[in-house]
Homo-oligomer: A and B are copies of this chain.
Amino acid sequence: MSEQRAASTPTRRRGAALETAITDAAWQILLDQGYNGFTYEAVAARAGTSKPVLYRRWPQREDLLTATIARHWRPLEVPDTGSLREDALTLLRTVNAERGRALILLRVQLADYFRDTGTSFDDLRNRLHPQDRTPPFALLVSRAVERGELADVPRSRRVVNLPFDLVRHDMLMRMGAVPDDSIVEIVDEVWSPLLGPAPHAP
């Protein structure tokens, strides 16, 4: 716990501090080298420690991988601004800004891992966040209906989740963040017309 960093001695790390340093290093390696570069040697080197330290904690490569992801992949925080359009734009911008490389990592770079283990992204997600989370956009839409901003008619999962899917698609195609124009275009020119007019509109 004592975070005393003395003048000359770089302090041999222990416990939580060490584990954090290692998983941070591992995350960085995953982000910029992919699953290929994700070796015990590389992680140890980057964290400034050595292989046995890693093997002691995570005997299997998968253990280190999931521990690393668990620390860096948090469920999205769903905004509630009182306006469906603003909610949607905010959420998409958050995804775009914070999830750029992580999305690519999980859906693209880890393809080898998923193939080798016979698991899927959803398996991993379920292992990390077992709660059956409602998709964020479903929540936005139901709130908008409650506010009377949208008609209370059934909508397919496809339409409700469309902006999310399209932004994710663009991010995957560009292997990174998407221009803000695209986000606005998706919400205003694609999603909005499909959701239908407000209930008390002429």
- CA A170 – CA B114 in complex, angstroms? 17
Number of copies: 2
A72 to B130, CA, bound (A): 41
Any chain B CB within 8 A of the CB of A120?
yes
Does A194 touch B at the CB level, under 8 Å? yes
Which B-chain residue is minimally distant from A193 (CB atoms)? B194
Which residues A146-202 have CB closer than 8 A to chain B?
156, 158-159, 162, 165-166, 168-170, 172-173, 175, 182, 185-186, 189-190, 193-194
Residue of B nearest to A167 (CB): B169
A124 interfacial by beta-carbon distance below 8 Å: no
Contact with B along A17-40 (1 / 0, CB 8 A): 000000000000000001010000
Q: Which residues of A31-58 have CB atoms within 8 Å of chain B's CB atoms?
A: 34, 36
Residue from B36, B168, B173, B194 in contact with A112 in the complex, judged by beta carbons closer than 8 Å: B36
Q: Which of B34, B120, B193 contacts A111, CB < 8 Å? A: B34
CB neighbours of A190 from chain B (8 A): 158-159, 162, 194
Per the CB 8 Å criterion, the residue count for chain A at the interface is: 30
- B108 in contact with A189 (CB, 8 Å): no
A109 to chain B, nearest CB (A): 6
CB-CB contacts below 8 Å: A105-152 with B: 107-109, 111-112, 114-115, 120
How far apart are the CA atoms of A115 and B30 in the complex, in Å? Answer: 13
A172 close to B175 (CB less than 8 A): no
- Seed contacts A158-B185, A193-B194; 10 additional CB < 8 Å A-B pairs: A36-B112, A108-B108, A158-B182, A162-B190, A165-B170, A168-B169, A169-B169, A172-B172, A193-B193, A194-B194
Q: List 15 A-B contacts (CB under 8 A).
A: A34-B111, A34-B115, A104-B111, A107-B108, A107-B172, A109-B111, A109-B112, A156-B185, A156-B189, A158-B185, A158-B190, A159-B189, A166-B169, A169-B172, A194-B194
